[in-house]
Structure 1
Amino acid sequence: MTSSDLRPDVRDKYAAAAAAALEGGCCAPSDPGVIGATLYADVGPDVVPDTALLSSLGCGNPTAVAALAPGETVLDLGSGGGLDVILSARRVGPAGRAYGVDALPEMLELARQNAAEAGVTNVEFLEGMLEEVPLPDASVDVVISNCVINLSEDKPAVFAEMARVLRTGGRIGVSDVVAEDRLTAADRAERGSYADCVAGALSESEYRELLRAAGFRDVTVEFTHAVAEGMHGAIVRAAR
């Protein structure tokens, strides 16, 4: 699978955002109270480059909930401009490692530029799809992701890959858009597009069921803020 397997609306939106950031423009979201840099209130330019922070298109702050420890290996699925990878690299320290996987060459270029500017060396950005992660089995301790799983059209495959790359006892700390169980797929599509992280969102019960089916335990889904009527930014945690 390659970036050409992404939905065209998803590929075009995020490639354009990365290109704008690389050219020194702004790729911030239209609703910064719901998605973007304001969700990293404790992160300033002394921690990450301005470009990394301002190019955040996530719906949460997964590094704040993943409880990363020194020496751990962490994987960020859909790493975008590299913000969460840079923050993870700082948390796990020189004895740890942070990987980012993204399907878009433009995002990978932006992420590598941001990591170089931040001066972090325990990072690696890999081109790949969420459904086909280019890492060996049982190679990471923690998987994070920030408002990207909702963009996949094969979420069971994403969760299976998360389980595959995690070591026994590993965990996930994911920020994503999640729908209330009362909303049908048609209801979600009425509230926003796939590329805007709404139409493709799972419901709370779907999230729990699919993670358990992939072999995860202790699954929790915590709503944090409204994204649309009946749709929420959420923190999802589980153990392998």
Structure 2
Amino acid sequence: MTEQTKSVDDTATERDATTQRRAVRARYANIATATETGCGNGGCCDGESAPASSARLGYSADEMQSVEAGADLGLGCGNPTALAALTVGETVLDLGSGAGFDCFLAAQQVGETGRVIGVDMTPKMVEKARDNVAKNGSRTVEFRLGEIEHLPVADETIDVIISNCVINLSPEKRQVFREAYRVLNPGGRLAISDVVMTATVPESVRENPESVAACVAGASTIENLETMLAAAGFENVEITPKDESAEFIREWDASLNLSDYIVSATITGEKPESGDATPE
């Protein structure tokens, strides 16, 4: 593997995964407890108010107005619920669910006969999301504390997995995709928004856990993601870069034009109808 395709998942032995997770957890705990509207500044956020930031990510005014204040933190790099094609009665799992914005939008689409589960590893964020359940009167949404590499979800119980700019934060992406495959029902699908690497991030940035926590240095290339998804068992994988995302990504860092190195993308894939819970 060349330096050009080197990603966080490939440098796990070089960086302490525990240190990386600690940095991610600390960053999002601070966001969860912030008193101002929005997410501050830095990767996965352009420093605007939450509604302004979410509008640039592809959320409609109707979507933002349909969820009570406090769930939309303006985080992410896309709108996974827009590409998930959710239907009434489906069970949805959100990886890295934050304060619950995408979960509440998904709940509207799957209806009273559906179910939505959010998993997040930051206790303060899970606490905030659970408070938002009551604010939104969402009887079909629940939030669980856990790591996306070790999902607190039973085998073959999920129809659709969504995620918004979270998998890039993991030092063990292969394990994330194996877990996603395990919990999906046969015929289930992924609908993910995330960042992908288009050029090598400077080493000083790549080796900084804070940069990984800010959705800057943790991206994998499209080729590596395709390989990991196929190894996990997924079929019909499609990864589509969104060139227009350069407009907000370049505002994630004042000292470095991040759009030279990463781009937002939609990532979709399917578990085969005959898929086993644990592929080889």
Q: Is the 8 A contact 1:18 1:27 kept in 2?
A: no
Output the TM-score relative to the length of structure 2.
Answer: 0.77
Stretches of structure 2 that go unaligned for 5 or more consecutive residues are: 1-17, 250-257, 272-280
Correspondence 1:238 to 2:255: no
Instruction: Give the structure 2 partner of residue 160 of structure 1.
Output: 178
Instruction: Give the structure 1 partner of residue 32 of structure 2.
Output: 18
Greater strand share, structure number? 1
Q: Is the 8 A contact 1:56 1:81 kept in 2?
A: no
Structure with higher Rg: it is: 2
C-alpha distance in 1 between matches for 2:222 and 2:205: 13
Secondary structure of the 2:70 match is helix
Instruction: Give the structure 1 partner of residue 9 of structure 2.
Output: none
Aligned-pair CA distance for 1:112 = 1.2
Structure with larger RCO (C-alpha < 8 A, sep 6+)? 2
Aligned pair in 2 of structure 1 residues 97, 139: CA closer, same or farther (>3 Å)?
same
Instruction: Give the structure 2 partner of residue 56 of structure 1.
Output: 74
Secondary structure of the 1:194 match is helix
Secondary structure of the 1:177 match is strand
Matches within 5 A, 1:1-240: 7-20=21-34, 24-30=35-41, 31=46, 36-38=53-55, 39=57, 40-44=59-63, 46-53=65-72, 55-180=73-198, 182-183=199-200, 186=203, 189=206, 193-224=211-242, 225-226=245-246, 227=249, 228=258, 229-240=260-271
Q: Is the 8 A contact 2:194 2:264 kept in 1?
A: yes
Aligned-pair CA distance for 1:206 = 0.7
CA RMSD between the two structures: 2.2
C-alpha distance in 1 between matches for 2:161 and 2:19: 23
C-alpha distance in 1 between matches for 2:79 and 2:267: 11
Aligned pair in 2 of structure 1 residues 70, 200: CA closer, same or farther (>3 Å)?
same
C-alpha distance in 1 between matches for 2:37 and 2:136: 19
Aligned-pair CA distance for 1:86 = 0.5
Residue type matched to 2:261 in 1?
G
Identity within the alignment, %: 43
Q: Which runs of 4+ in 1 moved over 4 A?
A: none
C-alpha distance in 1 between matches for 2:130 and 2:20: 21
CA deviation map 1:19-44 (0-9, x unaligned)? 11xxx4234242158x9422223345
Aligned-pair CA distance for 1:193 = 1.1
Secondary structure of the 1:173 match is strand
- Range with bigger deviation, 40-49 or 207-216: 40-49
Tell me the matched-pair count: 231
Q: Is the 8 A contact 1:147 1:177 kept in 2?
A: yes
CA deviation map 1:89-109 (0-9, x unaligned)? 110000000000011110011
